[in-house]
Amino acid sequence: MDPAANVFHYGQEVFEGMKAYKSARGHTDVPARENARRFNFSLRRMSMPEIPEEHFIQALCELIKLEERWVPSAVGSSLYIRPTGVSTEAALGVKASESYLFFVILSPSGPYFAEGFNPVSLWVSDSFTRAAVGGTGEAKTGGNYAGTLLAAQMAKDKGFSQVLWLDAIEHRYIEEVGAMNIFFVIDGKLATPKLTGSILQASPGSRYCRSPRTWASRPRSGASPSTRWWRG
C-alpha cells in the first residue's frame, strides 16, 4: 500500500470483531447479521461507502468455509473474525478517500484476558477520556482504540487488567471497559450504560440481553454511576 494512503494519515478505517464457534454437532456457527449492520454504521460515520449486508455475510461465510479447519473445538475457544475496511487513496490532504479496501482476517483464539474466565481487576481513571458525545465513539474505528493505549498501559503498570471508562463530561458515569461493552445485574435486573453516541452499541451482546430465557426481568439502559467504584 502506498505510504501516502489516506488511512495512514487521516485514519479513515473501520473494523468489526466477531467469533465463529463449533457447535455440539460439529457445525460452525457464524452470527454475523448484526455485525454487518454495525459495520455499515461505522462506515457511514467515517464517510466511507457501505457494503451490502448480504455481500458482507457471504464474504465471511465463503472464507470460513474455505478455512473451516482453523475453527477450534476446545472449550472457551473460537475463530476470531476481523472484517476491515481501509481508505487507500494516495493523497496528502484532509478529505474522504476515493478508493477503499475490504478484507477479512481470521485467527483461532482463546479467552481475551490472561486470567481466562476468572474475574479481572479494573482501574477507574478520571483523567482520561475514551470518547465524547458527537465524536466517533460509537463507530468501531482504530483511532478510538489508539487513544486508550496510554491509560491501558498505566492500568497494567498499577497491576490492573483493564480500564473502566467514565463519561467525558462529569467523569462519573460508567461507559465501557477497555475495548468492550459492560453490563451489571442490580437488584435482579440487567443494567447497561446509556447509549448517548459515545460508546459502541453491543452487537452479539444485544441478542443475549433480549433472551427471555436468560433474564426474568426486562433489561434497562441508563447511565450507571461509578460512585461505588475505586477511582484512580
Active-site residue numbers?
Answer: 140
The answer to whether residues 96 and 12 touch, using CB atoms and an 8 Å cutoff, is yes
Q: What is the 3-state secondary structure (H, E, C) of 140-186?
A: CCHHHHHCCHHHHHHHHHCCCCEEEEECCCCCCEEEEECCECCCEEE
Q: What are phi and psi of 4, to 5 degrees?
A: -95, 10
By the 8 A CB rule, do 175 and 197 touch?
Answer: no
Which residues lie closer than 8 Å to 232 by C-beta, 6 or more apart? Answer: 123, 124, 125, 126, 155, 158
Helix (H, G, I), strand (E, B) or coil at 194: coil
Do 176 and 85 form a contact (C-beta atoms < 8 A)? no
